[in-house]
Amino acid sequence: MTGNLSETRVDATTDMPEEPTQALRFGRARTARSSALQEDYVELIADLMAAHGEARATDIAKRMGVTHPTALKSITRLKREGLVTSRPYRGIFLTEAGQELAQRVRARHRLMVEFLLALGVPAEAAEADAEGMEHYASEATLAAFGRFLGRLRRDI
Amino acid sequence: MTGNLSETRVDATTDMPEEPTQALRFGRARTARSSALQEDYVELIADLMAAHGEARATDIAKRMGVTHPTALKSITRLKREGLVTSRPYRGIFLTEAGQELAQRVRARHRLMVEFLLALGVPAEAAEADAEGMEHYASEATLAAFGRFLGRLRRDI
DNA sequence: ACTGAATTGTACCCTTGGCTACATTAGTCT
DNA sequence: AGACTAATGTAGCCAAGGGTACAATTCAGT
């Protein structure tokens, strides 16, 4: 109709073209999305290990709300990524890398939940939302959440 | 090793089994993840319409940071879901439902960004994080964000 | 030691969302 | 009008993450 305007359009406030930066943002979101599931698995495995001393495939599947073959496939991927080890018909174990990841993910999760609770979000919603949002919060955002909680505690 | 403890384990604070509720949370997160992309497309199409008067497949692809066949496939899915219409070699248009969704998504996005900025998150991080997190924030959380912004404005 | 149930593993299918390669149509310019 | 370019569409490939159905192994209880 009007021809290609996209090459010449600029952002009103910055005088910079908007496409590349937005494409980068979406790209990062895609990357985060693809690691989100792995982070959830690793966190869950760490939880099960802490609670039961072991992480079994069926329990993982139950907790994830997924059939066991699906869980097994995801675990296979975790093995390939070096986050987890397992021998046939034996439990699942986190590698060094897996434990480090689990620790970071759990800290992030706790911070996220605490932050939402502090804002007045009901507990169940806070847990549910954190489960999704935590994977997309950058260090900058997590730091801001931390500062907020710090201020709250200081000002009582 | 120690037999099946999963059926009997309970949450320390509530005395309720933890599996079902956690499975539900993960299920909801999965659902949100699957609609996230559609929401991004619809929002982007609305933006392009507002800026250029039309939404073309190539521009959508560029902005999403994706090749055009990928964008076309997603658009096909949007058509199937009744959010969008298009005729061969013509532009993409939002249906009623698509416009409504776009409006909700944009409002949510703006709220999210504004909230993060108010917390002191740098602009680029706020935009990037909002792109991911917005899809997982429940009404309760969005309401809490709104209250926070309201308090800020009132207390100057 | 055996049997039956539970757990784990495997095979195969589906959809989504990426990609490349190629075909077709529309738009523009001489 | 014709030719070139850009945009759109189509075909086919891949990996991830969901599922069912069935096979194999382990575990528990007699």
Domain ranges of chain B: 19-149
- The span from the CA of B114 to the CA of B101, in Å, is 20
What is the fold, at CATH topology level, of the domain defined by B19-149? Answer: Arc Repressor Mutant, subunit A (1.10.10)
CB contact under 8 A, B144 and A119: yes
- Residue A4 confidence (pLDDT): 38
Answer yes or no: is pLDDT of A12 > 70: no
Q: State pLDDT tens for residues B12-45.
A: 455 567 888 999 999 999 999 999 999 999 999 9
Contact A92, A56 (CB under 8 A): yes
Closest by CA position to A74, among listed A114, A113, A37, A33: A37
Of the candidate ranges A1-5, A23-27, A72-76, A141-145, the one whose mean pLDDT is the lowest: A1-5
Contact B39, B83 (CB under 8 A): no
Contact B39, B135 (CB under 8 A): yes
The residue with tokens 């939402």 is A116
The amino acid present at B98, given as its one-letter code, is G
The residue with tokens 């919060």 is A137
Q: In terms of CA atoms, which chain A residue is nearest residue B142?
A: A121
Interface residue of A7, A38, A92, A129 to substitute, partner B, most B CBs within 10 Å:
A129
Burial B116-133 (b: 16+ CB within 10 A, else e): bbebebeeebbbbbbbbb
Longest dimension (CA), chain B: 65
* B118 chain-A contacts, CB cut-off 8 A: none
What's phi and psi for A92, nearest 5 deg?
Answer: -105, 135
- Residue B16 confidence (pLDDT): 60
Q: Answer for A90: CB within 7 Å of strand C.
A: yes
The answer to whether B3 contacts chain A (CB < 8 Å) is no
Answer yes or no: is pLDDT of B143 > 60: yes
- The span from the CA of B18 to the CA of A120, in Å, is 23
Measure in Å the smallest separation between the Cα of B64 and chain A Cα atoms: 5
Q: Answer for A57: CB within 7 Å of strand C.
A: yes
- Residue B153 confidence (pLDDT): 93
Answer yes or no: is pLDDT of B134 > 70: yes
Q: State pLDDT tens for residues A112-135.
A: 999 999 999 999 999 999 999 999
Which residues 29-58 of chain B have a CB within 8 Å of chain A? 29, 32-33, 36, 40, 51-54, 56, 58
- The span from the CA of B12 to the CA of B121, in Å, is 35
Give me the DSSP letters along B42-102. HHHHHHHHHHHSSB-HHHHHHHHTS-HHHHHHHHHHHHHTTSEEE-TTS-EEE-HHHHHHH
Which residues 104-143 of chain A have a CB within 8 Å of chain B? 116, 119-122, 124-129, 131-133, 135-138, 140-141
- Tell me the CA–C1' distance in angstroms for A91 and D29: 23
The answer to whether A149 contacts chain B (CB < 8 Å) is no
Measure in Å the smallest separation between the Cα of B139 and chain A Cα atoms: 9
- The span from the CA of A35 to the CA of A77, in Å, is 11
- Residue B39 confidence (pLDDT): 98
Contact A19, A6 (CB under 8 A): yes
Answer yes or no: is pLDDT of B5 > 60: no
Which of A54, A116, A141 is opposite residue B141, by nearest beta carbon? A116
Stretch B1-20: mean pLDDT: 51
Q: State pLDDT tens for residues B57-98.
A: 999 999 999 999 999 999 999 999 999 999 999 999 999 999
- Residue A2 confidence (pLDDT): 39
Contact B30, A37 (CB under 8 A): no
pLDDT band (50, 70, 90) for residue A156: confident
| B98 class by beta-carbon count within 10 Å (0-12 exposed, 13-18 middle, 19+ buried) | buried
Q: State pLDDT tens for residues A66-117.
A: 999 999 999 999 999 999 999 999 999 999 999 999 999 999 999 999 999 9
- Residue A14 confidence (pLDDT): 52
- Residue A150 confidence (pLDDT): 98
CATH number of A19-155: 1.10.10.10
